[in-house]
Amino acid sequence: MSHVVALPVLIPLLAGSISLIFWRSHSAQRWIGVIANAALLVASLWLLRETWVHGHLVMHMGNWPAPFGIVLVSDLLAAIMIVLTGITGLATALFSLSSIPREQERFGYYPLLHLLLAGVAGAFLTGDIFNLYVWFEVMLVASFALLILGGERAQMEGAIKYVTLNLLSSALFLTAIGLLYGVAGTLNMADLAVKLAEVPPEQSGLLTVIAMLFMIAFGIKAAAFPLFFWLPASYHTPQVAVSALFAGLLTKVGVYSLFRFFTLIFDQDVAFTHEILLWMAVLTMLSGVLGAAAQYEFRRILSFHSISQIGYMILGLALFTPLALVGGIIYIVHHSIVKASLFQISGLVYRLRGTYELKGLGGLFRSHPWLSILFLIAALSLAGMPPLSGFMAKFIIVRAGLEAGAWVAVFFALLVGLLTLYSMLKIWNEVFWKAGPETQHEVPTRGQSPRLTYYYLPIALFAVMTILLGVAIQPIYEIAERSASQLLDTRGYIEAVLGVQP
Amino acid sequence: MRMHSLILRTAGHFLLPLLILFSLWLLLRGHNEPGGGFIGGLVAAAAIALYLFTMDLQAARKALWVDPRNLIGIGLTLAVLSAIPGAVLHGQPFFTSQWWPMTLPLLGEVKLSTPLIFDIGVYLVVIGSVLTIVLFLAEAEE
């Protein structure tokens, strides 16, 4: 048994409590944020290594045995997601150093950030459905608060939609948990995988209903079609560091839960459930990208693209072949990095020019060529240009789609890629290439140019990562491949949690 | 905020220590019987709130002698730290309960344990968060 499984949850929890003790000192909180998130990243890499060597890592919390107590389980998918949590967490902590106003630090920005990360890590690692629900709530409470820090009118408007739809999702989630417990008498995921396989066929209709409830609940969290409109209404309103964290990490929790549930637990009626997932994926891709085409605000465009990219990940799950799952997992990794980076770039542009409206921007290529190149790397990666990470991710999913004969889905996946490119080029033209507006004014940097380092640092690191993911895909591909085979063959997971089955 | 009632004011002076004692009793009793950190914390917070009504804001702050916001952080840290002894000392999973029974003069056998540390943490968090809100509202009213 290895203690590293619990560290990704424990580190942010401890960091959050300690930064609450230092609530008077802003600089102490800032550096606790950086140090704790660096520690989280190290712990997550260690976890990935251990999981790669040992297969599954399980910890029975409080030493209570499996189907009764709560277990933390790390398989490769969970470990990959935890590494993403570490990367995005550290990038956000660095980016926050100079971008978060003092006023918001005073209202507990850093403790909330740690709480959010603890919730996300807990959701990735838990092996118990009710515990997953609790982590979702922890995450939501923290995200509500982060969303309205600052208290502007637009923030309140976005937060109301966000809260309402997420509460609806939580209610559905809880209903589904209740029904599932009624059918199976357990909520431990591994135990469920065993028990549901033995459910008599006349009850399988009920199981499908429960599966659908979970699908809708997680679909809302992941911002999938049709209940996605809370995302573009809210993601452009908070501080950019928060937007980047939300877009990079938070929606992935919904996607991760779909991956976990529809491989481990609900694989009885694949023909039905995964067909629905397929259409959900196609419509999500399409509605997101079409929504983005009509937008002329930097962060709103990015928000709409988040939705369409979620579609690709769900498509990977829906095709349900080993290659498609590999594609889905690589897509999650790619999108976390690129989308967080794009949001941070929008924040830096705002810092330089004081607006997010494309109309009021321009000429940045002339004044900040390096920033423009960083944007171009991230944007082209998002649109799927070789040799960047987006190309590999899209290529694998499209290839899997062709092999599975899902022609319609493949057609839309390629079309959406093209439309994404259009959208990214629109931003490129308006913000960087065209001449600046007549009344352009450089927002005075108030002699703080060294502090811009903390803007550039995470963005540059993200750019390096997306290039590396595209050029040197092999190690990540191998991890994703073994992770996909773990997902498709659930025996390893069940044995690791429950002990060897008789 | 202050209520001008002689009875309430006189009773408030006597009730504050009694209620705090009662909350500690609830906290310690909680492991095997109804009670615990959460309910104990609520009673303690109610005691301070009652004192606030009978006296005034300054007196209530003085009776608390520590900023409630500090209590939240300290309590949370204690609760999280209670997960660790079992893991470090015996290599058990996090949150495994550790028991240190000892015999004290007068009291007899006393069981110190990590659940107690966790409960004390919860006690402090509840006092801290309730009183942060109450004192903030009282301040806003003044």
pLDDT digits (tens, 9 = 90+) for B51-63: 888 888 888 888 8
Q: Which residues of A touch B69 (CB under 8 A)?
A: 20, 23
Residue A501, judged by CB atoms within 10 A of its CB (0-12, 13-18, 19+), counts as exposed
Neighbours of A315 (CB within 10 A): 29
Best CA proximity match to A104, nearest among A30, A197, A201:
A30
Query: If you ran DSSP here, which 8-state letter would residue A431 be given?
Result: I
**Rounded to a whole number, what is the distance in Å from the CA of B46 to chain A's nearest CA?**
23
For residue A387, whether the previous peptide bond is cis, meaning omega lies within 30 degrees of 0, is yes
SS3 A352: helix
CB contact under 8 A, A61 and B70: no
Per residue of chain A (502 residues), give pLDDT as tens: 578 899 999 999 999 999 999 988 888 999 999 999 999 999 999 999 999 998 889 988 888 887 888 999 999 999 999 999 999 999 999 999 888 888 888 888 999 999 999 999 999 999 999 999 999 999 999 999 999 888 788 888 889 999 999 999 999 999 999 999 998 889 999 999 998 888 887 878 888 999 999 999 999 999 988 888 889 888 888 989 999 999 989 989 999 999 999 999 888 888 888 899 999 999 999 999 999 988 888 999 999 999 999 999 999 999 999 999 999 999 999 999 999 999 999 999 988 888 888 888 888 888 888 999 999 999 999 988 888 899 999 999 999 999 998 899 999 999 999 999 999 999 999 888 888 776 555 555 554 555 788 889 999 999 999 999 888 889 999 999 999 999 998 888 998 888 865 4
In order, the DSSP letters of B14-78 are HHHHHHHHHHHHHHHHTTTSS--HHHHHHHHHHHHHHHHHHS-HHHHHHHH-S-HHHHHHHHHHH
Q: Which residues of A touch B73 (CB under 8 A)?
A: 17-23
pLDDT digits (tens, 9 = 90+) for A36-50: 999 999 999 999 999
pLDDT the model gives residue B10: 86
Q: What angle do CA A211, A215, A218 make, to 5 degrees?
A: 135
CB contact under 8 A, B72 and A20: yes
A-B contacts at Cβ under 8 angstroms: 54
Q: What angle do CA A229, A234, A236 make, to 5 degrees?
A: 120
CA distances from A128 to A61, A132, B118 (A): 11, 6, 22
Cβ-nearest to B93 among A1, A18, A19: A1
CB contact under 8 A, B93 and A16: no
CB-based contact A351:A344 (threshold 8 Å): no
Cβ-nearest to A17 among B73, B94, B97: B73
What sign does the CA torsion over A171, A176, A181, A186 have? negative
For residue B105, whether the previous peptide bond is cis, meaning omega lies within 30 degrees of 0, is no
DSSP H or E stretch at residue A368? none
Domain positions in chain A are 3-438+452-496
**Rounded to a whole number, what is the distance in Å from the CA of B83 to chain A's nearest CA?**
8
CA A488 to chain centre: 22
CA atoms of A500 and A122, how far apart (whole Å): 25
CB contact under 8 A, A10 and B70: no
Mutate to test the interface with A, among B67, B70, B71, B76 (most CBs of A within 10 A): B76
Best CA proximity match to A144, nearest among A124, A122, A170, A123:
A170
If phi > 0 it is left, if psi is from -120 to 50 it is alpha, else beta; for residue B108 that is left
With an 8 Å Cβ cutoff, the interface of chain A facing chain B consists of 1, 3, 6, 10, 13-14, 16-23, 59-63
Query: If you ran DSSP here, which 8-state letter would residue A436 be given?
Result: P
CA atoms of A296 and A430, how far apart (whole Å): 9
CA atoms of A51 and A47, how far apart (whole Å): 6
In order, the DSSP letters of A172-221 are HHHHHHHHHHHHHS--BHHHHHHHHHTS-GGGHHHHHHHHHHHHHHHHHH
Residue B1 lies in a domain: no
Residue B131 lies in a domain: yes
Minimal Cα distance from A60: which residue of B? B93
Joined together, the tokens standing for residue B13 give 């002076």
CA A254 to chain centre: 8
Q: Which residues of A touch B95 (CB under 8 A)?
A: 61-62
Minimal Cα distance from B74: which residue of A? A21
Q: Which residues of A touch B120 (CB under 8 A)?
A: none
What sign does the CA torsion over A194, A198, A204, A210 have? negative
**Rounded to a whole number, what is the distance in Å from the CA of B6 to chain A's nearest CA?**
39
Residue tagged 């921007």 (tokens): A361
Cβ-nearest to A61 among B69, B81, B93: B93
CB contact under 8 A, B93 and A23: no
Number of domains within chain B: 1
What integer is the mean pLDDT of B12-32?
A: 89
Cβ-nearest to B96 among A10, A21, A62: A62
CA atoms of B42 and B49, how far apart (whole Å): 10
CA A346 to chain centre: 18
CB contact under 8 A, B77 and A22: no
CA atoms of B42 and B19, how far apart (whole Å): 11
CB contact under 8 A, B96 and A63: yes
CB contact under 8 A, B93 and A62: yes
Minimal Cα distance from A21: which residue of B? B73
Cβ-nearest to A21 among B77, B83, B91: B77
Beta strands in A61-140, from DSSP E residues, in sequence order:
71-74
CA atoms of A2 and A42, how far apart (whole Å): 15
What sign does the CA torsion over A460, A462, A466, A472 have? positive
Minimal Cα distance from A2: which residue of B? B93
pLDDT digits (tens, 9 = 90+) for A123-139: 999 999 999 999 999 99
CB contact under 8 A, A17 and B77: yes
Cβ-nearest to A10 among B70, B72, B80: B80
Residue A421, judged by CB atoms within 10 A of its CB (0-12, 13-18, 19+), counts as middle
CA distances from A433 to A312, A383, A495, B39 (A): 30, 18, 57, 62
CB contact under 8 A, A22 and B73: yes
CB contact under 8 A, B95 and A62: yes
Q: Which residues of B touch A23 (CB under 8 A)?
A: 69-70, 73
Minimal Cα distance from B92: which residue of A? A63
Minimal Cα distance from B97: which residue of A? A62
pLDDT the model gives residue A502: 42
CA atoms of B26 and A451, how far apart (whole Å): 51
Above pLDDT 70, what percent of chain A? 97
CA distances from B82 to A288, B25, B77, B110 (A): 46, 21, 9, 18
CA distances from A277 to A122, A189, A314, A335, A408 (A): 25, 21, 7, 19, 14
CB contact under 8 A, B73 and A10: no
CA distances from B126 to B45, B53, B58, B98 (A): 8, 20, 21, 24
What integer is the mean pLDDT of B8-19?
A: 88
Joined together, the tokens standing for residue A47 give 């976890």
SS3 A362: coil
Cβ-nearest to B94 among A6, A17, A20: A6
Q: Which residues of B touch A117 (CB under 8 A)?
A: none
B124: containing domain = 6-141
Torsion of CA A134, A137, A139, A142, to 10 degrees: -130
